Structure 1
Amino acid sequence: MAESSRLVAAPPAATAAAAPKVRSDGEGGDGTSTDTIMNIVNIAFGAGMLGLPYAIQGSGLVSGTFGLGIVLLWNFFCCSLLVKLRKEVLIARAEAEKGTSLSADLGTPVSFAAIGSYAMGSVGTILVYISVVVTLLGAATAYFINANELLRATHFYLNPGWSEETAMYVNTFIYMCLMYPLTCIKSLAPLSRLSLPAIVALVAGFAVIIKLGLEMYGWPPMEEVLSWDALYIPQTFDGFSTFFGVAAFSYGATIIIPEIQESMANTEEFIGALKTSLWIIWSSYSVLGGVALLIFQQDGPVSDNIMSQLPSDSLAQEPLLLFITMATLFTYPLAMQPVSSIFEQALIKAGFGQASARVGGDDQRYGALTAAETGTDPRSPKEEDGESHSSGELSPALRYGLRAALVLFTGVCATIVPNFGVVITLLGSFSVTLGSFVLPPLFHRVVFGERLSSAEKTADEVLCFVGAVTCVFTTTTTALGVLRGE
């Protein structure tokens, strides 16, 4: 199919004249490389880190450590494909601007959904939305579940004699009230200021729990470590599925990589920032997760949330659990930003938007109208009537009301869904794997087509196939385990 067939219909002359220039790869938001590293690391550390000892227990310590490295390389490769795809969309927009058929989405940021639409039309958009919405709403729900699990044993958990169910509802509502204002922040860059203390709190929390574990159990004798049955390989299919699900979830920033890159002042620095953040994540996961597992497995299987194994009589328990809870909750707005934008664009498409001359300004960095969001198929021919899809933005009241509704939804889900470990395993196995490991090579293969070498074509096809098989297998295995009550 010719490249020109990917372009959307031309807008009226007035709209075309007012459309801003397409952003180059040297232009972005106001975030620095350090901001980007902090955001990616905090997204990963936010919840996945707490389940890592539990996940590595299912895979075997040695194979789990190498497995985390394999998932890292797989993740980096797929992120790199998304960076290439983002640039391809920008090039197509620039070519459209020079031609006679201008696009209504020129100058707007390139979202994952826009990449999916450019590659596969409405099918690509739907696949992206399934992955992004399920993953991020699920992750946000997991943060509330984690807060309830950790704070329940402390004085920070409000319960003046209520039933356990009532206390859970009240405390979840408190978390919702704390998080809602942060979900209304328009750019991810300022949230990186919260990322550093959150990361420090999580790493410090692991250090404390390792210290307390050594005081209680000591370091396991070397002969016991080397003879440990689960040291090298997964013992069951369930164990492998748990490991992969948590590992995939722990590297789950892939699905919002385009948004994170858009937040940078110089997007050319993104790959370097991504490499640094992934190596920080892998080394931290391997060392902290592995050491915690070796220590606490002496007392039996480790919990799906390692922080729940803190001794109740420890002086460090209450402040540590509070800091860990706040650290994970600070990741909540990072997860909610892209989801909010998706639903905002759906409302705009439905006619709830108000006219705006600003297309692609800072206020729409994560929700600017593109062919994907407006429902325009980028492969469709020019519309005969010459009219474009209307653009605009939601009124402040509707915008903030929508975000309040999404926060309420995650809060309600947190009171009825299964435990923390099951949630992140299912999310990692299904929606994260779909968005992180299946769609990027699929879109790359479709968009670049015959421009790829034989080796590149094979790599895309193999990775897409392996990702799809892994997604189906691990999701099915985990779901069957839940149904069996395991």
Structure 2
Amino acid sequence: NGVRVRGSYREIAEFVFRGQLGGQVVNAAAITEALMTCILYLVLCGDLMYFCFPGAGLSKTFWVSVSFVCLLPCAALTSLRHVSLISFWNTVTHVIINGIIIVYCLTRTADWQPAKVQFHIDIYTFPISLGIIVFSYTSHIFLPTLEGSLIDKRRFACMMNWTHLLSAIFKALFGYIGFHKGGDHQQPDECAAVPLRVSVNIALALKALFSYPLPYFAAANFLENSLFTGRPLPSCWNEKREFKCWAVLPRALLVLFTFVVAITVPHFALLCGLIGSFTGTMLSFVWPAYFHLVLKRHASPLYTRLFDAFIIAVGVLCGSVG
């Protein structure tokens, strides 16, 4: 078995780029990606609840504010075990919702519009879509911690291959079935679909709330490791590795920051596409392949090095187009 000598992307970047600046750049990209994901969940909650009760006279900002209040206790999360428990219920909710939507679409095959399904690239919308897709796949910031916590680390590559492959297949099928049902305007049925739509939207809002703690926990840890390590600010932890009470305040301010951005930034989908095109492609394509190329250049065969170079080229191209 190999011996772990670097336990985070920041440590790897500092070694590859020969200095702390490279680690800080990678850390900043990871923090940006994690916070953008948190903001996305807040915006999603606001949109879903607003469309559940469009005639109630309550704005999207109101529902985002309600979501913010519900998520404020996340500032007290200091254990990955608690975050994992919340993520478990997020997964359960996710499976139930997807099952309901797929079954509903399959029972409405008579309404499908296959003629409207076209496979072509729209140069005006594809770059934004590409950035959003990359943004939705950026799990790399969690991987060093995840791999380090596995009992049998030899199964990590198998887990990565199967989860990402199944995720890609399911997302493609889910989008294809959904578009078949609604066409390009996605118009819902009038009366029959209203209770279902409200129920699914509420469940999706709960799923977004359950999804928030994981990227928030990652962003908080990145910031604590960067700032609260004795220099320039005091540590959030005492000598017994117990969390200090005052350290909850900066974490609460971090939740507040995501709320403020969620209610002030217009056209959030465009911002997601932009962030995904930059930090997403760098974290998912360019940096991992480049780090592997540098660290394993003497031990890897030629075809592996060429494949790393190909991934870097694809990442640069996708990021530039986005």
Q: Which TM-score tier does this pair reach, normalised by the shorter chain?
A: 0.7 to 0.9
- 1:352 match: 234
The yes-or-no answer on 1:115 pairing with 2:12 is yes
Normalised to the residue count of structure 2, the TM-score between the two structures is 0.85
1:416 paired residue among 253, 264, 267: 264
**Cα offsets for 1:208-266 (capped at 9, x unmatched):** 445555677834366x2xxx5x62221x2233213322321222112221122233344
2:217 paired residue among 317, 326, 337: 337
The letter for the 2-side match of 1:329 is L
Counterparts of 2:177 and 2:92, CA distance in 1 = 18
The alignment-based identity, stated in percent, is 20
- 1:179 match: 71
**Contact persistence 2:286–2:316 (CA under 8 A):** yes
Q: CA deviation at 1:275?
A: 2.9
RMSD of aligned C-alpha atoms?
A: 3.1
Q: How does 1:181-200 map to 2 (within 5 A)?
A: 181-200=73-92
Q: CA deviation at 1:418?
A: 2.8
The letter for the 1-side match of 2:228 is L
**Contact persistence 1:202–1:327 (CA under 8 A):** yes
**Contact persistence 2:89–2:210 (CA under 8 A):** no
Query: Which structure: larger Rg?
Result: 1
Query: What number of residue pairs does the alignment pair up?
Result: 318
CA gap 1:284/1:199 in 2 versus in 1, 3 angstroms: farther
Q: CA deviation at 1:310?
A: 7.6
The yes-or-no answer on 1:133 pairing with 2:31 is yes
**Contact persistence 2:238–2:244 (CA under 8 A):** no
Q: CA deviation at 1:302?
A: 4.6
- 1:376 match: none
**Contact persistence 1:188–1:263 (CA under 8 A):** no
Q: How does 1:234-253 map to 2 (within 5 A)?
A: 234=121, 236-253=122-139
CA gap 1:148/1:113 in 2 versus in 1, 3 angstroms: same
Counterparts of 1:311 and 1:117, CA distance in 2 = 57
Q: Which moved more, 1:434-443 or 1:243-252?
A: 243-252
CA gap 1:199/1:423 in 2 versus in 1, 3 angstroms: farther
Counterparts of 2:204 and 2:13, CA distance in 1 = 36
Normalised to the residue count of structure 1, the TM-score between the two structures is 0.58
2:168 paired residue among 251, 269, 282: 282
- 2:148 match: 262
The letter for the 1-side match of 2:48 is L
**Contact persistence 1:148–1:171 (CA under 8 A):** yes
**Cα offsets for 1:50-97 (capped at 9, x unmatched):** xxxxxxxxxxxxxxxxxxxxxxxxxxxxxxxxxxxxx67x24x7xxxx
2:118 paired residue among 208, 221, 231: 231
The letter for the 1-side match of 2:217 is Q
**Contact persistence 1:189–1:263 (CA under 8 A):** no
2:319 paired residue among 456, 468, 471: 471
CA gap 1:455/1:190 in 2 versus in 1, 3 angstroms: same
Q: How does 1:45-56 map to 2 (within 5 A)?
A: none
CA gap 1:217/1:269 in 2 versus in 1, 3 angstroms: closer
Q: CA deviation at 1:176?
A: 2.1
**Contact persistence 1:112–1:256 (CA under 8 A):** no
- 2:41 match: 143
CA gap 1:310/1:335 in 2 versus in 1, 3 angstroms: farther
The letter for the 2-side match of 1:314 is V
CA gap 1:470/1:154 in 2 versus in 1, 3 angstroms: closer
Counterparts of 1:148 and 1:470, CA distance in 2 = 30
Q: CA deviation at 1:352?
A: 1.3
Counterparts of 2:143 and 2:190, CA distance in 1 = 38
Q: CA deviation at 1:334?
A: 0.5
The yes-or-no answer on 1:218 pairing with 2:110 is yes
Moved over 6 A (4+): 214-217
Q: CA deviation at 1:125?
A: 0.8
Counterparts of 1:197 and 1:464, CA distance in 2 = 36
Counterparts of 1:279 and 1:446, CA distance in 2 = 26
Counterparts of 1:146 and 1:396, CA distance in 2 = 32
Counterparts of 2:311 and 2:212, CA distance in 1 = 30
